[in-house]
A and B are shown apart, each in its own frame.
Chain A
């Protein structure tokens, strides 16, 4: 078990605080398609930190934080100006601010290092996220900022929602949307600045965006998403801190990011409704049902042509219809055999009574739909088959009954073939 040292406590606290704050403001950044603005702001903070140090000669958090904040705000303003008044698009503007501000920071940092030979000056930790160097003072500032962020978001929730969803509508209602945007951007800046020490410049964007992206998969309500993002961020932070402390040479910043990335992966795959895994399974099951219905239909149509359904149909005959392999047809037939909709004699297949009734319903839907297309939409009769092939699996009983009534209970489809009656039950 890992020892709950002072360092671990601080890293856990710092990481959780950042996770919570980051999740909250990150949710809005994500929804406003400004995920990478946080990246730019993190890089832009460096020259601010260095300048603050050069001007004040101190490494105290308030002055460094202030410097970083001002630099971040300057970066955000620069992006705005470039995008608004030149042909440079937003992505390039972000890239420019990100790299150039950081470069200026590098210049200043190396200068400072030359001035204080031997002392890494502690400014490095802003770059690389040395969470282990978090002291109580830093945590104090993080808590203050965190409280301010949560309070502000709580107070201005509907204003931020308006800003993210329909800026113009908000303006028409009389809300000062520009001002609200400024407030939100400032929140983003301070969260970035105060969290730099925990995860470092490169990984900051993940601290903001990854928990929010994970949260989005679980809910369709903004309030819940923000809350979940905070929870996922906070828990990932704590878990990452603990894991990093228990395994050798595992730096905390990257560990935290990987934990929340795993949370994102899990969310993407397994979240109810939105989860990719469920979507895949749903799709597979639908495809399988379609294939089974097609098999029943094929046997029915064959029987219609032969004017009798008592003969067994060989596998090779079925294979010829849709160019399917024997294995595939057997796979489709398996569940139908179990449900006693089909019966088999060696490799040959035949519809049972129940199977006949099922197949009839599919054919009925197909032909009614073809009739609808030719009569109502006046499509030529040779254009409707493809569409009906798809719709026959999609129409519900109710829709089909309504369709039949609308068409006046017809007896024949556009090709003169009989429309089977509704299943009597």
Chain B
């Protein structure tokens, strides 16, 4: 499989939610993403995996216009990000904010509506109700008035998800949504993602846990500065591709991923 033309299954010629071409991003002089070509299908749960420093978060940031690439461009549903902002929802890493900030869970989720509230105006009651319903969808509506530092890690993650839901997008970009959350939250997040897929939305998530890629996602992007492979999990999440991605640096935990693959190839599907 050549890395520059991953097989994609386009659903009847519709515009792909995300296209990346020749994307190269460097911080100062260090290349972080190199010549990445990617076309992602609609309506899937897509995992981006790769070792640390492989540029996974950077890829999301480049799509969102938060970092400027040296070369290449990004198209979202056929147009530039600046024209498709309202179609994209973003869930950053939990560490990216100071949770001691004086604000409530509901307040954070309402921020997801700011894009539609516009300049100089206040969020209306309609926006607040939307925010509350998003909190309900992630199962923590009773924590709406709670200050965010009083929330557990899993609850904080759900607040971030609810905020993205409040953006009412078609494409969701998530940076490690499963990192450091308890088992219950993990299930809740997974249920939410599956609901989104059921509604025809596309989810692209940077994922750190190789063991669960097969269970949670149906499409995978293997990244190590360059695109190693991209495609349905069944055909792309293979030994060889993992070796190429991690370059022999598969850790002990990843051996569980190997075990999963071995199990699967022996015919015992999970």
Contact = CB atoms under 8 A, between A and B. Distances in A.
A220 B102 contact: yes
Interface string B151-195: 000000000000100010000000000000000000000000000
B200 interface: no
A248 interface: no
Nearest to B101: A165
Given A158-B123, A220-B102, A165 B82 contact: no
A225 B111 CA distance: 18
A168 B91 CA distance: 11
Interface residues of B, number: 29
B147 A220 contact: yes
Contact of A220 (B64, B82, B103, B115): B103
Contacts of B123: 158
Contacts of B85: 172-174
Contacts of B117: 158
A216 interface: yes
Interface in A11-33: 31
Given A155-B120, A169-B92, A162 B111 contact: yes
Contacts of A161: 103, 111
Contacts of A80: none
B62 to A, nearest CB: 12
B246 interface: no
A171 interface: yes
Residue among B102, B111, B163 facing the most chain A CB atoms (10 A cut-off): B102
A166 B102 contact: no
B124 to A, nearest CB: 12
Interface in B83-138: 85, 88, 90, 92, 96-98, 101-104, 107-108, 111, 114-115, 117, 119-120, 122-123
Interface in A141-190: 155-156, 158-159, 161-162, 164-166, 168-175
Contacts of B108: 165
Contact of A221 (B82, B103, B111): B103
A222 interface: yes
A168 B103 contact: no
B114 A222 contact: no
A332 interface: no
Contacts of B102: 31, 216, 219-222, 225
Nearest to B63: A172
Given A155-B120, A219-B102, A165 B114 contact: no
Interface residues of A, number: 24
A169 B103 contact: no
A169 B90 contact: yes
B66 interface: yes
Contacts of A165: 97-98, 101, 103, 108, 111
A166 B66 contact: no
B65 interface: yes
B120 A166 contact: no
Query: DSSP class of A's interface residues: helix, strand, loop or mixed?
Result: helix
A162 B113 CA distance: 12
Nearest to B60: A172
A110 to B, nearest CB: 42
A166 B163 CA distance: 12
A311 to B, nearest CB: 47
A32 B254 CA distance: 39
Contacts of B66: 168, 171-172
Given A155-B120, A166-B96, A220-B147, A173 B115 contact: yes
Nearest to A31: B101
Contacts of B115: 173-174
A222 B119 CA distance: 19
Interface string A191-228: 00000000000000000000000001001111001000
B92 A168 contact: yes
Interface in A96-153: none
B114 A173 contact: yes
A335 to B, nearest CB: 31
Contacts of A170: 114
Interface in A334-392: none
Nearest to B108: A165
Contacts of B64: 171-172
A161 B108 CA distance: 10
Interface string A238-269: 00000000000000000000000000000000
A221 B102 CA distance: 5
Nearest to B28: A85
B195 to A, nearest CB: 23
Contacts of A166: 92, 96-97, 111
Question: Which of A31, A174, A216 counts the most chain B CB atoms within 10 A?
Answer: A174
Contacts of B111: 158, 161-162, 165-166, 169
Given A165-B111, A171-B65, A174-B82, A221 B92 contact: no
B74 to A, nearest CB: 13
A155 B122 CA distance: 9
The listed residue with most B CB atoms (<10 A of its CB), out of A161, A162, A165, A219, is A165
A171 B92 CA distance: 12
Contacts of A158: 111, 114, 117, 122-123
Nearest to A166: B97
A164 to B, nearest CB: 7
B137 to A, nearest CB: 19
Given A169-B90, A220-B103, 16 more contacts: A158-B111, A159-B119, A162-B111, A162-B114, A165-B108, A165-B111, A168-B61, A170-B114, A171-B64, A172-B65, A173-B85, A173-B114, A219-B102, A220-B102, A221-B102, A222-B102
22 contacts: A31-B102, A155-B120, A158-B114, A158-B122, A158-B123, A161-B111, A162-B111, A164-B101, A165-B97, A166-B92, A169-B111, A170-B114, A171-B64, A171-B66, A172-B85, A173-B85, A174-B85, A174-B115, A221-B102, A221-B104, A222-B101, A225-B102
The 10 closest A-B pairs by CB, nearest first: A220-B147, A173-B115, A172-B64, A172-B90, A220-B102, A174-B85, A222-B102, A166-B97, A165-B101, A155-B120
Interface of A: 31, 155-156, 158-159, 161-162, 164-166, 168-175, 216, 219-222, 225
